[in-house]
Structure formats: C-alpha cells, structure tokens
Amino acid sequence: MKLGIALPLIDIGGEPATVRAFAQAAEEAGYDHLAAPDHVLGANIANRPSWGDRNTSADLFHDPFVLFGFLSGCTARVGFSTQVLILPQRQTVLVAKQAACLDVLSGGRFRLGIGIGWNEVEFIGLNEDFHNRGKRSEEQVQVMQALWAEPHVTFEGRWHRVDDAGINPLPTQRRIPIWFGGHHDLTLRRIARWGDGWMMLAYPADDTAKAEFSKLRRYAEQEGRDPASIGTEVWVSTGEGDESAWRSEFNFWKSAGVTHITVNSTFGRLHHRRIAGRSLDAHLEALRRYRNAVGDLL
C-alpha cells in the first residue's frame, strides 16, 4: 500500500517556506505522495447566504501544477497527486502539456487525479460549459492519453480537434496515470474504461465501500480489463480516534484491497473529521503520529 498526505493549505497558508517545510517533513517521515486539490475561482459568499459549507474565496488554493513544480525542486522522492483537478473547466491540450512538463521535471513522480467539479461559478469564469462537463471529460481523457503517447496526433471529436500536432516534452513513460474522483455510477464506468484508479472519499470503512469496489471490478471485467490493474484510494483523518483506531481502519482498507491511503486532516464533511489545530506545528504532529502508527502495516 502507498501512503500519502494532503497539503493543508487552507490551514497553514501557501508561503514558499511553509509548503516546502511540510513537503520535506512528509518525505522525511516516509510518505509516498503529496496531494493537493484544485479550485481556480472561489465564490464571494457575501451575496450568497445559502452557499453552505463548500469552498469559498476565503480558502487558499495554489494552482496544483505550479505548486508541484515548485515542490519537485524541493524534494527527491515523494510523489505528487491532484485530488482532484477539475478537468472540464480547463483547456484539454493545455492540461496535457502542463501534466507532461510536471512529469518530466519531477522525474516521473506525478499522478493526475481528475473530477468534473461542482462549482458552476468557476465554469462561468473560465468560459466552459458546466452542463456537459461529464461527457466532455470522457473525450478530454482520450485526447490527453493520445497526446502523451505519440509525438503527433490527429483527433476529431465532438469537442476537440487536433490536426497532426503534438506536445513536447512527452511524459517519461509516454503516459501519466489518470485517477478519477467522484461517486456516480457513470464515474465508475469511466474508470473501468479509461482509468488507472479511483479516489473514493464518500464511504466509510464498512460493507458499503466494499460493495462499490466490487461494482468497479465488475465494470472493469466487462471492459475486458484486469480489475487488479485499477487502483483504489481512500482518505483518512487524524481528527478523531487514536493510534489503535487508525490501525484498525487502516487494516480494514487493506483487507478491502485498497492500494493508496491519503491522510487529509482538513476535510470535515461526510464521515470525515478535521483536526482541531490549524497551525503548521499541529499538522506536522498529526503527520508524524499517523505515519508512526501505521508504518509497519504498509
């Protein structure tokens, strides 16, 4: 199993020294990857009293390609994973180029997690269609995979046209792993057809999650793929319980066949609970406690 941790930028801020210190501490502690979310625009909720507990303009989000490009020069081993990049609000060929450059500059340490998003405000600001984002993302994945694999591509689709052109540089392995976030049945079918893995955060450690994993395996078999070739990732938090409880939850996910676990101690929705502290020191303490608690189970 691979163990990662989410950069808690909303709590600790985004100053260069701060994100560097957190990334280097995670690498030193033995984490396999760093995770970061993606939001380009945050809504001003002063005029949106019914917005709810979703992210707003008050929450700090670095662009993940810029963030990971910076951190790749500050680290030597730890990987990088978007969790998740909101693909259909971004221009497809440009994402393929940015991802390939990051992959090359980091020495092949990048994994692209994608989702279709929920915030129409961002789509409006980025001049993309919110209402066809799911279907359009399917074509986006195909365009990117083609551009990563060959120096020149000709593609004619519903939303994309590439006329005998290519990106340079190409990724180190002529591919970049694509992991999907989301929980709709259509998401599972997209993973089974095109994906390298599923980033799942909606279900707790119980039989509900196992049933969804089984569904994904069935869909993969229907697509003629080996289900074992598709990874699964879950989020855990140090916001509640102790080392014994963390180990028990970890063992459940391991028995369920989960391949990646990411500690996200700022996420407090669904069954997840965030930590009380918001300082860098509080997050570094949580980082080390969790790794020490489960290190022998990896």
pLDDT digits (tens, 9 = 90+) for 207-254: 999 999 999 999 999 999 999 999 999 999 999 999 999 999 999 999
Contact 5, 52 (CB under 8 A): no
pLDDT digits (tens, 9 = 90+) for 13-33: 999 999 999 999 999 999 999
pLDDT exceeds 90 at position 168: yes
Which pLDDT does position 179 carry in this prediction? 98
Nearest to 48 by CA among 40, 38, 58, 60: 58
In this structure, are strands 153-156 and 110-115 parallel, antiparallel, or unpaired? unpaired
Average the pLDDT over 94-122 and give the result. 98
Stated pTM of the model:
0.97
Q: Which fold has domain 2-297?
A: TIM Barrel (3.20.20)
Q: Would you call 137 exposed, middle or buried from its count of C-beta atoms within 10 A (0-12, 13-18, 19+)?
A: buried
Rounded (10°) CA dihedral 173, 141, 34, 239: -150
36 phi and psi angles, rounded to 5 deg: -145, 140
pLDDT digits (tens, 9 = 90+) for 244-286: 999 999 999 999 999 999 999 999 999 999 999 999 999 999 9
Q: Which of 27-41, 43-57, 104-118, 191-205 has the lowest mean pLDDT?
A: 43-57
Parse the chain into domains and list their residue ranges. 2-297
Q: What is the 3-state secondary structure (H, E, C) of 100-152?
A: HHHHHHCCCCEEEEEECCCCHHHHHHCCCCCCCHHHHHHHHHHHHHHHHHCCC
